[in-house]
Structure 1
Amino acid sequence: MIPEALNLAHAIVSELDLGANSWILAAEDVNGLAARAVNSDLVITIGGDGTILRVNRAIAPLGIPLVGVNMGRLGFMTELTVPGVMDELPQYFKGGMRVSEHSMLMASSFRRDPDGAEPIQHGPYHALNDVVLTRGQVSRVITVRVVIDGADVSTFRADGVILATATGSTGYSFAAGGPIVDPLSDDVVLTPLASHVGLTAPLVLRPTSSVDFHLEGSQGAILSVDGFENHPIEPGDWVRITRSPHRARFLRAHEHNYFWATLTQRLGFSLQRR
């Protein structure tokens, strides 16, 4: 936990008189978060979207809503900024706030058992932003066969393939040329990373789609979940991604159009008015 975030956390507890009804933990302590959050009504994150992704991993299965205080750069998922947080935060304790629910993904990797038994499964892993199959440290493209709902769609020779939620469409997928999707949509976006062979355009898929990434060829890869949980994938392995049974829950005071009203500002673009 960065010192500025820790200082603000203690200030919130002290100045808002939260006392024994609160607790403070680092976002990286996923196991500790899950244990402490069990009897909590609300979780406040201090940081950026990365902090929210880590915390959400622990609290989404519990159905606990969160409020994000932005100390990062973009803060697409955060609700508040540091200036004025002491004045604005108490309203989220009173109830009656709008709850914004966001769809998530569930991914598992599979490896064939050399003895011919059932495939060896790792996971499931749950993602609020995206699931990415990408090349590892070796700077070589990987070969990925993509299957959607049992249909072979394309074999990519690329740096990787991204499957993003609507929430994650403003992240890595957008940087790779994918569309921005309304964060409350349940649709998902499949975006190739620097594809040399195969489809180059992103695909928007329905929420119930089942997507398989089959790693072919001889080059290993990395399965990255929300950008901070990484697992090695070997040629012959495959990854299956479906909709997660969990949903991220955010308390919102802003109107529904706040996302679009602040989009260009958060992306660092200047909006030209006539």
Structure 2
Amino acid sequence: MRSGSRMTAIGLVLHPTKPVDRSIDTILEGARGHPVRVLAREHDRHRVPAQVQPVPDSTFVGEVDIVIALGGDGTMLGAMRLMIERPVPVLGVNYGDLGFLVEVTPEGLPAALERLTRGEFTLEQHGCLEVNSAGVDPASRFGFNDVVLRQGDGKGTVSVDLTVDDLRYGYYRGDAVVISTPTGSTAYNYAAGGPVLSPSSDAIVITPVAPMSGISRPVVLGVRDEVRFTTANDGMPIAVDIDGTSAGELVQGQWLTAVMRQDAAQVVRLSASEHAQRSRVRLSLLDLPLRPDQLLELIPPDLRRNAEAALSRNTRAADRSS
């Protein structure tokens, strides 16, 4: 759905446990008087009112024009994976804590629906890692954040060989290996010492966790590169997590490939600049090196004056005591 297009079906993807009734009522109120159906997935039948039509996933994917994900980033990622074969705009309503993908609060949903109706939004394209391996569940093979190879029992080390576009690059031996998209680069990859990639970059990054030998630093690769990891013949079984969820296991001699699938999802952005500002605030919580004056830029303008005054007082007091 782009500006000027007609919306005929809204799909709801719900957080598995959190109550989101208020937002469902808001969406139904916004749809009232318009030829728009509101659909939910069959397994959420018991959580939606009678005005919402529960349908099988195949019908949901085939008929919705837009998806509204009611939850946090995890719910948003689930909606994006669900629609991967037919990417339609996905709007996230935040019922979580920190969120890099979700943009709208439950309180801001009525205004957001008005802007959707008027076509006042942009679409942010997201790629994902597509994983193939005999040891990975086919239903879990798409990762919008990352793919992690780790020891299944939490003991020992991960030992895998790396091949990029059929060229052998070396091997990893350590606690884990993280393969990350730009979207996921602020998660486990960052915690492991990997670089934060710009959301607009066409790249993936491979970061070893606590390396013991072999490749010991992050490697940034192009978006068209195919990476292959092969388990060592003398290694222990390796667990595979995709977007934080267990997806399978690799045993001795098995391999796993990961390629970037571009334009795999469309995320609704009502205000790209406001979203970027909020993301900077969240990144500051990851201890990025910002000076006090740079942190002030993250504070809303109506609160900035008081913060600037407090910073000035603290600076003068520090100067007097030094």
Please confirm whether the aligned pair reaches a TM-score higher than 0.5, indicating the same fold: yes
Q: Which amino acid aligns with 1:146?
A: L
| Counterpart residue identity of residue 56, structure 1 | M
Residue 87 of structure 1 corresponds to 111
Q: Does 1:242 align with 2:259?
A: yes
Which ranges of 4 or more aligned residues in structure 1 deviate by more than 4 Å?
A: 26-29, 257-260
Aligned counterparts of 1:44 and 1:18: Cα–Cα separation in 2: 17
Amino acid of the residue matched to residue 196 of structure 2? I
Aligned-partner SS, 1:62: coil
Q: Which moved more, 1:195-204 or 1:60-69?
A: 195-204
Query: Which one-letter code corresponds to 1:36 in the other structure?
Result: F
1:14 maps to amino acid: L
Gapped regions of structure 1 (runs ≥ 5): 112-120
Matched, 1:13 2:13: no
Alignment of 1:156-235 (within 5 A): 156-216=172-232, 217-235=234-252
Give 1:205's aligned amino acid: L
**Higher relative contact order structure (alpha carbons within 8 Å, sequence separation ≥ 6):** 1
**2:297 pairs with 1:265:** no
TM-score for both structures, normalised by structure 2: 0.73
Residue aligned with 2:113, SS: helix
Q: Is the CA contact (8 Å cut-off) linking 1:147 and 1:212 kept in structure 2? A: yes
1:75 aligns with 2:112: no
2:270 to 243, 253, 272: 253
1:36 alignment counterpart: 60
* Aligned alpha-carbon RMSD (Å): 2.7
Identity of aligned residues (%): 27
Distance 1:32 1:195, change over 3 A: farther
TM-superposed deviation, 1:156: 1.3
Q: Deviations over 1:237-273 (max 9, x none)?
A: 0101112265111111213x54542334213268622
TM-aligned CA deviation for residue 8 of structure 1: 2.9
In the alignment, the residues of structure 2 paired with residue 233 and residue 18 of structure 1 have an alpha-carbon distance, to the nearest angstrom, of 51
- Distance apart, 1:160 and its partner CA: 1.6
**1:136 Cα deviation after fit:** 0.7
Larger helix share, 1 or 2: 2
Mark the CA change 1:53 to 1:93 in structure 2 (over 3 Å): closer, same or farther: same
Letter in 2 for 1:176: A
Counterpart-to-counterpart distance in 2, 1:248 and 1:47 = 17
Aligned equivalents of 2:247 and 2:229: distance in 1?
16
CA radius of gyration, larger in: 2
The question of whether the paired residues in 1 share the 8 Å contact of 2:112 and 2:270 is answered with: no
Structure 2: runs of 5 or more not aligned: 1-15, 46-54, 295-322
Query: Deviation at 1:27?
Result: 9.2
TM-score normalised over the length of structure 1: 0.85
Q: Which amino acid aligns with 1:2?
A: T
Distance 1:198 1:26 in 2: 48
Shift of 1:199: 2.2
